[in-house]
Structure 1
Amino acid sequence: MDLDAVRTFVAVADAGRFQDAADRLAVTQQAVSKRVAALEKDLGARLFTRTPRGARLTIDGQAFLPHARDLLRAAERAAASVHPGSRALRVDVIGRRLAPAELLRAFHRAHPGVELDVVTLFDADAALEALRSGTIDASFRAVPHAQGPSADGIESVRVYDEPVQLLTGPDHALATARSVTPDRLAGHRIWMPGLVTGTEWGTYYDDLAASFGLTIEVTGPDFGTDPLLDTIADSPGLATLVGELTRLVWPSGQDLRRIPVHGPTPVYPHSLIWRADNAHPVLDALRSHLHRTRPDLPDTGTWTPNWA
């Protein structure tokens, strides 16, 4: 059904004259007559009776009028639902315990009035496809990026270089160290069953292991974070690697140790990616917040893969 014709019908019904409706709509009387005639043809019913005093609703016109008003109100609500800023900003954070979720929580604390829809997609490929298709507004990922939009209109900016830490149980050989160098981890068993070949995080840790001669084991099923912590806490030989902002909570009896890695410090390169044509105002606010709050790291003393 032509909404312009429905809008014209309502205008005539309210004004009582075709000419007055034309003046309100800033169109000609002929255009008003054509629109009403087309609507009557679509409905198979006469909506107005012309009289010397103007246009009078027929019985069918009176029956249709409240529904016509509902149609126009529904159209206004539909348009408003996609107006920039009228809906929540949908952001992919990879995992709700990881640094991107912490960065987004900090943004929400600084801007409590904004609406966010937080999702977790599997990997960078899924996030990029969601961005291209318009099902998300932004994603935090470790991806190569360059200045300006890519050929498919995707932009990115590095927002946080997250130091990687060693996590051990109390009986591990490095448990009492104040910090360790990456080279010192060579020969120790690092267990990370959640690594998936081909993902951005899998590629990052593969490159880290290759650069410093580390042994990262991915054997065994991945039952999630809590069973991983249970195993690390009870093992004198296994450790794992976690990001500095990874949210971990464990029972006091486990006595797990988070040990900084320096000399150099491996950092995980989180970037925010989005479509260049996305006009959502909260996206601008998020980018500005991340730019203002990004911590400074020294130009030397850190390690990231060459692709980052």
Structure 2
Amino acid sequence: MVAIENSDSLVGVDTDLLRTFLAVARRGSFTAAAADLHLVQSTVTSRIQALERQLGVRLLDRLPDGTRLTTAGDQALLRARALLDAERRLLEDVATTAEPAGEVVVGAPESVCAYRLPRAIAALRHRNPRVRVHLAPAGTRETFRGLLEGRFDIGLVLDEAPVPGPLTPRTIGSEPVVLVAAPDHPALRAEPGWDELAGYPYFLLEEGCSYSDSFLRELERNAASEPQVTRFGSIEAARSCVEAGLGLSVLPRTACARALDDVELRELPGPRRPDAPLVLVLDERRWRSPVVREVIETVTDAAARRSEPGGPS
């Protein structure tokens, strides 16, 4: 297989082909990329085929459930992102008075994507319709990997885990975390101890979710028996199991606020869970275009407002 050694391998390639390749790499499917780009799927397919012919390598493996980058595709992804960054920088340098425009990909936990960012992003889009923000649900490790591979422009994690290499973290807010049960669950009859808590089933977010992992470590450390734990990749799935009375879960308050208000869930009186830090992560090797800087400012301001006393929940 031919390796793509440097950005020169992509010089002369139609940038529309590169943008299409980045969209497929980001979404993992031709269909989803076509929807993002407002194209028919056949156009996306033909562009990827044209790019592969021009480079002389296969960039994507076509799988029954989507696509996966090949080794050459991984290399091309970084080079394509660098070339498009350079193109965008050139255009913005010669049009410094223009309103920021372009697309920004934000990797963040599901709860942040679904419950925290949409309102702030909608307000930004209302102010500047030329900004397109794609939210990509991802755990901590996937967010770091997406930043390093150039798939994400901005990362948000609910974690203070050490960041690799060129990535830099900055805490911009916090997310309240609660231990919840169905309203008639026996754990709510009195403040339970660790041994009693270990006797109940748990529905937690998948490994790598910092607040789930820290609770489970604390439970295993303080209880005599090993708890029964089911891991999910979806907050909705975990919350639904708890609402059905099947067990307990540890969730961001924002992800279950409506259920708590409607008494479909209740917060256990103890043990209280610490807030999860909301950390902005960036790749210092990457140039930050005006539109990326605007999204960073929007996200940071929204997090600061939520952290203020009396701010939105």
With normalisation by structure 2, the TM-score equals: 0.52
Q: Deviations for 1:61-84, whole angstroms, at most 9, x for unmatched residues?
A: xxxxxxxxxxxxxx99x9359856
- Check the 8 A contact 1:233/1:255 in 2, yes or no: no
Selected match of 2:156 from 110, 126, 140 = 140
For the residues of structure 2 that align with 1:79 and 1:198, how far apart are their CA atoms?
A: 36
Counterpart residue number, 2:280: 272
1:205 equivalenced with 2:215 (yes/no): yes
Q: CA deviation at 1:282?
A: 3.5
Counterpart residue number, 1:196: 206
Selected match of 2:135 from 118, 122, 130 = 118
For the residues of structure 1 that align with 2:227 and 2:277, how far apart are their CA atoms?
A: 19
Counterpart residue number, 2:242: 232
Counterpart residue number, 1:284: 293
- Check the 8 A contact 1:99/1:243 in 2, yes or no: no
Counterpart residue number, 1:11: none
1:108 equivalenced with 2:124 (yes/no): no
Counterpart residue number, 1:295: 307
Instruction: Letter of the 2:154 partner, please give it.
Output: A
- Check the 8 A contact 1:162/1:270 in 2, yes or no: yes
Selected match of 2:168 from 155, 158, 173 = 155
1:217 equivalenced with 2:228 (yes/no): yes
Counterpart residue number, 1:244: 253
* Shift in CA distance, 207/268, structure 1 to aligned 2, threshold 3 Å: farther
Q: CA deviation at 1:233?
A: 3.5
Instruction: Letter of the 2:274 partner, please give it.
Output: P
Q: CA deviation at 1:184?
A: 4.7
Instruction: Letter of the 1:293 partner, please give it.
Output: R
Q: Deviations for 1:121-179, whole angstroms, at most 9, x for unmatched residues?
A: 3x322221221221110121134368xxx7732121112321212322232135478xx
- Partner SS for 1:270: strand
Two-structure CA RMSD over aligned residues (Å) = 4.2
Counterpart residue number, 1:27: none
Instruction: Letter of the 2:134 partner, please give it.
Output: D
* Shift in CA distance, 88/173, structure 1 to aligned 2, threshold 3 Å: same
For the residues of structure 1 that align with 2:227 and 2:175, how far apart are their CA atoms?
A: 19
Instruction: Letter of the 1:118 partner, please give it.
Output: L
* Shift in CA distance, 174/131, structure 1 to aligned 2, threshold 3 Å: same
Which has the greater radius of gyration?
1
- Partner SS for 1:209: helix
Selected match of 1:167 from 147, 161, 180 = 180
Q: CA deviation at 1:103?
A: 2.7
Instruction: Flag structure 1 segments of 5+ consecutive residues without an equivalent.
Output: 4-74, 298-308
Instruction: Letter of the 1:266 partner, please give it.
Output: P
- Partner SS for 2:196: coil
Counterpart residue number, 1:128: 144
Q: CA deviation at 1:116?
A: 0.3
For the residues of structure 1 that align with 2:116 and 2:216, how far apart are their CA atoms?
A: 25
Q: Deviations for 1:46-105, whole angstroms, at most 9, x for unmatched residues?
A: xxxxxxxxxxxxxxxxxxxxxxxxxxxxx99x935985644211001232xx13443322
For the residues of structure 1 that align with 2:269 and 2:296, how far apart are their CA atoms?
A: 29
Counterpart residue number, 2:97: none
Instruction: Letter of the 2:250 partner, please give it.
Output: L
Report % sequence identity: 13
Instruction: Flag structure 2 segments of 5+ consecutive residues without an equivalent.
Output: 1-10, 13-82, 93-99
Instruction: Letter of the 1:206 partner, please give it.
Output: L
* Shift in CA distance, 260/173, structure 1 to aligned 2, threshold 3 Å: closer
Counterpart residue number, 1:13: none
For the residues of structure 1 that align with 2:203 and 2:216, how far apart are their CA atoms?
A: 13
* Shift in CA distance, 230/141, structure 1 to aligned 2, threshold 3 Å: closer
- Partner SS for 1:109: helix
- Check the 8 A contact 1:165/1:258 in 2, yes or no: no
Counterpart residue number, 1:259: 267
- Check the 8 A contact 2:107/2:156 in 1, yes or no: yes
- Partner SS for 1:218: strand
With normalisation by structure 1, the TM-score equals: 0.53
For the residues of structure 2 that align with 1:270 and 1:152, how far apart are their CA atoms?
A: 20
* Shift in CA distance, 202/116, structure 1 to aligned 2, threshold 3 Å: same
